[in-house]
C-alpha cells in the first residue's frame, strides 16, 4: 500500500457524515448507550506507514546554528583566500603577499588555495582586491560568512511545496520554529496526542443523504479502540492542557484525523529526519476538541460540536495559556454572537486567532461564520487558500472578511500532490464505513500515514504557526500580529486588498525581519 | 569641609593656570595648519526613528581633521567623523514598538568641509563660527539580510557651527563647539524603514563636541 492521496475520499466521507449527522444522529443517539471508557493508559506502539515507499532520508545536518556576527560584517577578518596560478614560484608568492603584509599558512585539506593571514585591522575585501589584480593570482577573496538556509531534513519535506511557496526556509533562519514558551491551541476534532485504548459502544446506523436512505451499518457493540500519539508530532511534552468538549473529558482523542493533520502544519516536529515539517515546530500544542468526527457520532458522543462548545473551547484555550488559537472550523447559516464574543475575549486576553475562510465558493459562496468576525476584530484573521500555482483554490470562499491567503492546496492544480501533506491517520483503517456494511469494522487510531488534504482548514494553520513565530519574535499583541501580517503580505489578485486573497499571501520572512532604520 | 574633592580641585587649578600662563592665540600674520581630534554627542533630527531602532536619540561621534587658518582670521577645515551603533529591528503599530531581536548596525560617516571666521584672535578665548557642506556615508546592516537589503548610500548635507577655542599652551588648544546639520531626504522612503513609519527623513541633527587642537 502506498501513501495514497485521499482528498476525494475525505470529502466524500465528510459529506456523508454531515448529512447523516443532520438527519439520523439524534434518533440513534437516543437508542445507543453512550460511553467512552479509557480501559488502558497504554497501547501498542504507533505504526507509521507513511515513509516506506519514499526516498531515503537525507543525511541530517550537523549544524543548523547561525552564529552571531560581530559588527554584522559579512566576512571574517584576519585572513583572505588566495588561489595562485600554477607555476608561481614560492619567492613570487612571498613577494606578492608581502605587499599586503600577508603570510601564507599551510593549505587546509581539500583546499587547492592558500589561507593568507593578514592584519586583523585590515579590510580583507580591499586586500583581496589588491591581490586579485596581480597576474600571478587566479583569484583572491575575503572569507565571507555563509549562513544556513534552513532546509528541514524531514524526508517528505520535498513534497511540501507549501513552505517554499511562502519562503519559510529563510523565515526559519530568523526564527527556527519558535519555542515551547508559545502555546498554540488547536480547536478541532482532537489530536492524536497520546496512546491508550478506549472502549466505545458502536450502535447501528444508517446513512441518510437528503431524502435518500443509504445502507444500514450493523452495530459493533462494545469495542476497544487503540490510539497512539502521532509519531511526527512528538511526545507528551509537546501537548499542554488537553480538553475534550465533545465527550467532556481531558482526553481529546482525534477520531477523525482532521485535527491531527492541522496540528501537523502548526507544529510538526521538523528537522528530525522523520516525515514532514511544520511551521512553528517548537511550540506546545493544546488540543481542544470542539467538533465531532464521524466515529464520535457512531459512538453516540454526548455532544456533536456546536457554537457553544466552540465558544467554550476558545475561552478554555486562552484561560489556560494559549497565545495563538487555530480554528480550522466554521459553518454557514446565521451568525454566531457567542463565538464572536469568545473570540473578542481571547484577543483581549492576548491571544491571536486564525480562522478558516470557508470552502464553499462553488456551493454558493455563503458567508462563512466565525471567519466573518475578522472584519471587526483586530487580532483575528480569516484565511483563504491558494494552490501551488499561487492562485485562489477553487473551493476557497471570497468575501469582505477574507484578510489573508495561505497555502491550502488545490487538487485541480498539480493533482493530489497539490494538497497539503501532513501526517494523520491511515484512513484505510479509519474510514471502514467506505467499504460497505459487509466489511465495516472498528477503526484504529494508532496507524499513521502522510496524506494530502486541501481546504482553508489546511491554510489556516500556516497563519497560526506564523503567528506563533511572530509572538516568539516579540510581536506580542494580537492586533499587531494581524497588522504585521497584512503589512508584509504579498499582494495577489487586483492591486490592494481584495475579496479573494485579502491583503495577499502571508510573508513570514518579511514580517519577522520587520523594520530597520532606513530599510 | 564639604564640597569639592581632591581631583576636581586639581582640575580647577590646572585650568586656571592654563588660562594665566598659556600663550595668547597666535597673531594671524601668516597661514597656519593645525590638526585636531574631537569627541562629541550627536542628537539626531530623526528622533523617533533612531530611538526605535538604536534605543536612543543621541550617540557618541568621534572625529578629526585638519584646519587652515588664514591671516584674515578665516579658517577652512576638513573634518571626518563616525557614528556607529547597533540596535535591533522593530515593528511599530499604533504607537507601540515591538523589538524583534534582530541586530542592525548603523554607521554614519560624514566628511565635512567648513569655512568660517575666528573672532578676537588675540585673546586666549577665540570664538568662531562657520558653515559648510558635508558628504554623509550611511551604512545599515542587519543580520539575516540579503545583500540588497543592507544599505550603503551617500547623501549631501549642510551645516552651521559655532564655538570657542581656548589656548592651553603654545601648540595646544581645545575648543567646544555646537553644530547643526541637515541631511534632507536621506531616509524614510523605503517601506521597510521605521523612518518612513514616523515620517522622518533627515539624517542630520545637532552635535556638541570637544576638540583637541594641535598647532598654533
Q: Which domains are seen in chain B, by residue range?
A: 9-214 (2.40.160.20)
User: What's the Cα-to-Cα distance from A77 to each of A65, A72, A134, rounded to whole Å?
Assistant: 20, 12, 21
Q: How far apart are CA A453 and CA A407, in angstroms?
A: 11
Q: Which residue, chain included where needed, has cell 482528498?
A: A7
Give, rounded to a whole angstrom, the gap between the first and last alpha carbons of chain B: 41
Percentage of residues of chain A with pLDDT beyond 90: 67
| Pairing of the two strands A243-244 and A284-289 | parallel
Q: How far apart are CA A422 and CA A277, in angstroms?
A: 8
Q: Which of A68, A475, A517 sits opposite B104 (nearest CB)?
A: A517
Would you list the DSSP string of A251-313? ----SSSHHHHHHHHHH---SSSSS---SSTTSEEEEEE-S--HHHHHTT-S----HHHHHHH
Residues of A with Cβ-Cβ distance to B104 under 8 angstroms = 72, 516-517
C-alpha cell at B195: 523612518
C-alpha cell at B26: 597666535
Q: What is the predicted pLDDT for the residue at B129?
A: 98
- Judged by CB atoms closer than 8 Å, whether chains meet at A513 and B151 is answered as no
Q: How far apart are CA A346 and CA A323, in angstroms?
A: 9
Alpha-carbon distance A473 to nearest alpha carbon in chain B (angstroms): 5
What's the pLDDT tens digit per position in A269-279?
Answer: 999 988 999 99
Confidence category of residue A32, pLDDT binned at 50, 70, 90: low
Q: How far apart are CA A392 and CA A411, in angstroms?
A: 12
| Cα angle for residues A444, A448, A450 (degrees, 5° grid) | 140
Alpha-carbon distance B206 to nearest alpha carbon in chain A (angstroms): 19
Q: How far apart are CA A515 and CA B102, in angstroms?
A: 10
Confidence category of residue A73, pLDDT binned at 50, 70, 90: low
Number of residues assigned to chain A = 519
User: DSSP character for B3?
Assistant: S
Residue in A202, A178, A217 with CA at minimum distance from that of residue A36: A202
Q: Using an 8 Å Cβ cutoff, are A181 and A216 in contact?
A: no
Q: What is the mean pLDDT of residues B160-166?
A: 97
User: What's the Cα-to-Cα distance from A331 to each of A244, A410, A487, rounded to whole Å?
Assistant: 20, 21, 28
Q: How far apart are CA A81 and CA A427, in angstroms?
A: 56
What's the pLDDT tens digit per position in B70-86?
Answer: 988 999 999 999 999 99
**Rounded-to-10 torsion of CA A286, A292, A298, A300:** 90
Q: What is the predicted pLDDT for the residue at B14?
A: 47
Lowest-confidence range among A1-10, A356-365, A369-378, B26-35?
Answer: A1-10
- Judged by CB atoms closer than 8 Å, whether chains meet at A517 and B195 is answered as yes
Interface confidence (ipTM) of the complex: 0.86
Q: CB burial class (10 A; 0-12, 13-18, 19+) of residue A99? A: exposed
Lowest-confidence range among A53-67, A251-265, B56-70, B109-123?
Answer: A53-67
- Judged by CB atoms closer than 8 Å, whether chains meet at A516 and B89 is answered as yes
Predicted model pTM: 0.81
Q: Is B56 helix (H, G, I), strand (E, B) or coil?
A: coil
Q: Which of A73, A475, A513 sits opposite B102 (nearest CB)?
A: A513
Q: How far apart are CA A371 and CA A380, in angstroms?
A: 9
Q: Which of B46, B138, B144 sits opposite A513 (nearest CB)?
A: B144
**Mean pLDDT, rounded, of chain B:** 89
What's the pLDDT tens digit per position in A266-319?
Answer: 999 999 988 999 999 999 999 999 999 889 989 999 988 899 999 999 999 999
Q: Is A97 helix (H, G, I), strand (E, B) or coil?
A: helix
Cβ–Cβ contacts within 10 Å for residue B60, how many? Answer: 13
Q: How far apart are CA A44 and CA B171, in angstroms?
A: 90
Give, rounded to a whole angstrom, the gap between the first and last alpha carbons of chain A: 52
Main-chain phi, psi angles of B89, to 5 degrees: -70, 155
Q: Using an 8 Å Cβ cutoff, are B179 and B209 in contact?
A: yes
Residues of A with Cβ-Cβ distance to B102 under 8 angstroms = 174, 512-514
User: DSSP character for A212?
Assistant: E
Cβ–Cβ contacts within 10 Å for residue A294, how many? Answer: 23
Amino acid at each position: 500500500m502506498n501513501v495514497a492521496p485521499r482528498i476525494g475520499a475525505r470529502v466524500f466521507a465528510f459529506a456523508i457524515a454531515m448529512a447523516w449527522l443532520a438527519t439520523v444522529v439524534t434518533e440513534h443517539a437516543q437508542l445507543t448507550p453512550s460511553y467512552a471508557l479509557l480501559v488502558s493508559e497504554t497501547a501498542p506502539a504507533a505504526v507509521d506507514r507513511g515513509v516506506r515507499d519514499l526516498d531515503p532520508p537525507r543525511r541530517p545536518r550537523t549544524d543548523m546554528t547561525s552564529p552571531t556576527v560581530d559588527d554584522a560584517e559579512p566576512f571574517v577578518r584576519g585572513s583572505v583566500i588566495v588561489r595562485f596560478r600554477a607555476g608561481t614560484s614560492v619567492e613570487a608568492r612571498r613577494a606578492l603577499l608581502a605587499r599586503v603584509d600577508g603570510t601564507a599558512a599551510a593549505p587546509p585539506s581539500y583546499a587547492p588555495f592558500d589561507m593568507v593571514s593578514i592584519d586583523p585591522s585590515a579590510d580583507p575585501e580591499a586586500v583581496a582586491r589588491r591581490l586579485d589584480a596581480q597576474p600571478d593570482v587566479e583569484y583572491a577573496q575575503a572569507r565571507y560568512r555563509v549562513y544556513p538556509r534552513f532546509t528541514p531534513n524531514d524526508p517528505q519535506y520535498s513534497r511540501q511545496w507549501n513552505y517554499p511557496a511562502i519562503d519559510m526556509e529563510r523565515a526559519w533562519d530568523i526564527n527556527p520554529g519558535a519555542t515551547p514558551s508559545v502555546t498554540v491551541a488547536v480547536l478541532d476534532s482532537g489530536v492524536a496526542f497520546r496512546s491508550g485504548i478506549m472502549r466505545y459502544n458502536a450502535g447501528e446506523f444508517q446513512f441518510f443523504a437528503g431524502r435518500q436512505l443509504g445502507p444500514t451499518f450493523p452495530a459493533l457493540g462494545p469495542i476497544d479502540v487503540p490510539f497512539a500519539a502521532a509519531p511526527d508530532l512528538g511526545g507528551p511534552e509537546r501537548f499542554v492542557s488537553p480538553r475534550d468538549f465533545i465527550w467532556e473529558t481531558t482526553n481529546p482523542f482525534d477520531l477523525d484525523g482532521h485535527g491531527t493533520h492541522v496540528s501537523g502544519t502548526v507544529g510538526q516536529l521538523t528537522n528530525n529526519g522523520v516525515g514532514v515539517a511544520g511551521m512553528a515546530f517548537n511550540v506546545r500544542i493544546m488540543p481542544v476538541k470542539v467538533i465531532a468526527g464521524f466515529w464520535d457520532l457512531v459512538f453516540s458522543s454526548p455532544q456533536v460540536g456546536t457554537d457553544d462548545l466552540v465558544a467554550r473551547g476558545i475561552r478554555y484555550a486562552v484561560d489556560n495559556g494559549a497565545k495563538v488559537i487555530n480554528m480550522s472550523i466554521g459553518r454557514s447559516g446565521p451568525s454566531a454572537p457567542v463565538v464572536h464574543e469568545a473570540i473578542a475575549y481571547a484577543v483581549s486576553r492576548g491571544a491571536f486567532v486564525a480562522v478558516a475562510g470557508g470552502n464553499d465558493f462553488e456551493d454558493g459562496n455563503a458567508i462563512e461564520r466565525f471567519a466573518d468576525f475578522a472584519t471587526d476584530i483586530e487580532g483575528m484573521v480569516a484565511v483563504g487558500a491558494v494552490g501551488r500555482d499561487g492562485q485562489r483554490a477553487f473551493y476557497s470562499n471570497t468575501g469582505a472578511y477574507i484578510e489573508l491567503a495561505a497555502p491550502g492546496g488545490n487538487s485541480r492544480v498539480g493533482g493530489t500532490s497539490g494538497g497539503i501533506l501532513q501526517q494523520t491517520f491511515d484512513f484505510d483503517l479509519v474510514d471502514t464505513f467506505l467499504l460497505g456494511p459487509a466489511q465495516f469494522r472498528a477503526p484504529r487510531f494508532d496507524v499513521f500515514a502522510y496524506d494530502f488534504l486541501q481546504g482553508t482548514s489546511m491554510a489556516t494553520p500556516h497563519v497560526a504557526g506564523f503567528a506563533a513565530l511572530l509572538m516568539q519574535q516579540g510581536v506580542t499583541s494580537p492586533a499587531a500580529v494581524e497588522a504585521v501580517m497584512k503589512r508584509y503580505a504579498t499582494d495577489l489578485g487586483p492591486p490592494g486588498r481584495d475579496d479573494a486573497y485579502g491583503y495577499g499571501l502571508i510573508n513570514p520572512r518579511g514580517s519577522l525581519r520587520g523594520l530597520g532604520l532606513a530599510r | 569641609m564639604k564640597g569639592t574633592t581632591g581631583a576636581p580641585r586639581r582640575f580647577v587649578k590646572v585650568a586656571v593656570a592654563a588660562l594665566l600662563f598659556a600663550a595668547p592665540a597666535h597673531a594671524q600674520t601668516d597661514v597656519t595648519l593645525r590638526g585636531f581630534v574631537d569627541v562629541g554627542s550627536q542628537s539626531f533630527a530623526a528622533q523617533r526613528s533612531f530611538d526605535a531602532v538604536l534605543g536612543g536619540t543621541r550617540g557618541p561621534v568621534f572625529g578629526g581633521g585638519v584646519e587652515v587658518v588664514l591671516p584674515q582670521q578665516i579658517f577652512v577645515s576638513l573634518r571626518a567623523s563616525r557614528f556607529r551603533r547597533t540596535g535591533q529591528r522593530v515593528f511599530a503599530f499604533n504607537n507601540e514598538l515591538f523589538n524583534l531581536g534582530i541586530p542592525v548596525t548603523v554607521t554614519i560617516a560624514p566628511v565635512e568641509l567648513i569655512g568660517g571666521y575666528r573672532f578676537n584672535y588675540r585673546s586666549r578665548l577665540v570664538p568662531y563660527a562657520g558653515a559648510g557642506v558635508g558628504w554623509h556615508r550611511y551604512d545599515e546592516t542587519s543580520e539575516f539580510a540579503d545583500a540588497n537589503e543592507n544599505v550603503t548610500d551617500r547623501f549631501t548635507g549642510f551645516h552651521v557651527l559655532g564655538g570657542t577655542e581656548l589656548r592651553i599652551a603654545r601648540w595646544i588648544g581645545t575648543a567646544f563647539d555646537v553644530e547643526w546639520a541637515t541631511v534632507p531626504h536621506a531616509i524614510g522612503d523605503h517601506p521597510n524603514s521605521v523612518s518612513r513609519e514616523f515620517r522622518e527623513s533627515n539624517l542630520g541633527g545637532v552635535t556638541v563636541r570637544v576638540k583637541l587642537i594641535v598647532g598654533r
